[in-house]
Amino acid sequence: MLTLEFSAQDLAVTRFASSPLWEITNSVQVLKEPGEHAVHLPWVRSARGRLRGVGFELLSQLVPIPTVHTPDFLTPVPVGSAPGIRAELDQLLATDPAQVVVDLDRYQGELPPLVAEFRSDPEAGLVRLAAEVLAYWDAAVAPFWPRIQRLVEGEILYRARQMATGGPASLFSDLHPRVSWERGTLRVAHRWFRAERSLDGERGLVLVPSVFAWPGVYSQTDPPHQPGLIYPPRGVATLWERATPVPDGLAGVLGRARALLLAELDSPASTTELALRTGLSAPNVSHHLSALSGAGLVSRHRAGRAVLYLRTALTDALLAGCAAPDA
């Protein structure tokens, strides 16, 4: 069990971020234990083919199974809100060699051969690791990054709205089954790790949604980085394969296309993403979303250069009251 004590100032500097390096590291674990991450099996089948001929042996050995500890330098808590893979690789390459040794000495048991070699020559090891990470990214994660990014951005919007309307109790109430909040204390029920940390009134917490974290939750609380909590976003189960049921009752009132769009917005999405999911043209999707927005059934939120659409509470209530079609 990890216990984090918050002050009001800690909550004031708590923020969200995304991280390609966390997705890469977590996805390596998924490849090693696909049976423990069943929702990602479609990605596993695709990634294995894409990774033929790609060397990532050192990266693989740095992600032990079971994942008791992954070295912090491989998964730093993001400094910005949405660093790209190049920025995170630069940060990886800038790791102090002494920090590499400290992190690797936390391993339990004998170091794997390539990890032991890495420990003996951290500077050369960081160069090799960065090259492997980039090759792995290009083959296995980058082709799916827009889809992953949309889900993560939608999660951040959803949680930000929770925080704004209900405070931290609302934010953390359904973040993950192993996460709980009570009177300024966040508890994370880790299987292998026990610690109590005070955030010192100035560090706060970085919440990092990661699709490949499913079904687990991870934390990083050692200096010098801001503490981080890595958890799976809402909607992971629909990420790779979609067969969205359209409530017949709602379709009878709104039309099938608009009912389909509302059903698809279980997680926030852009016009382009919705067009790809539904087979509707982008202009048609835009037209329907404008009508739904005018009726108060969807809301618009800007995320960088993209505009994401989000179901409103009214829509959630309508869908909850509609019976799904027979299978």
Instruction: List pLDDT tens digits, range 179-211.
Output: 999 988 999 998 777 888 888 776 789 999 999
Average pLDDT value for residue range 252-260: 89
Query: Quick check: helix, strand or coil at residue 15?
Result: strand
Q: What confidence score (pLDDT) does residue 320 get?
A: 81
Label residue 154 by pLDDT band (50, 70, 90). Answer: confident
Average pLDDT value for residue range 30-56: 94
CA distances from 199 to 6, 10, 163, 186 (A): 6, 7, 19, 11
- Name the class of domain 242-320: mainly alpha
Q: Which tokens hold the place of 215?
A: 């079904």
Label residue 252 by pLDDT band (50, 70, 90). Answer: confident
* Average pLDDT over the chain, rounded to an integer: 89
Q: What confidence score (pLDDT) does residue 67 get?
A: 64
CA distances from 228 to 72, 158, 254, 265, 310 (A): 11, 19, 43, 28, 26
- The span from the CA of 70 to the CA of 162, in Å, is 31
Boundaries of every domain in the chain: 2-16+149-236, 20-147, 242-320
Listed residue (67, 132, 73) closest to 98, CA to CA: 73
pLDDT at 323 over 60: no
Listed residue (95, 88, 89) closest to 18, CA to CA: 88
Average pLDDT value for residue range 285-292: 94
With tokens 């869908």, the residue in question is 319
Percent of the chain with pLDDT over 90: 52
Phi-psi region of 279 (alpha: psi -120 to 50; beta: other; left: phi over 0): left
Q: What confidence score (pLDDT) does residue 326 get?
A: 44
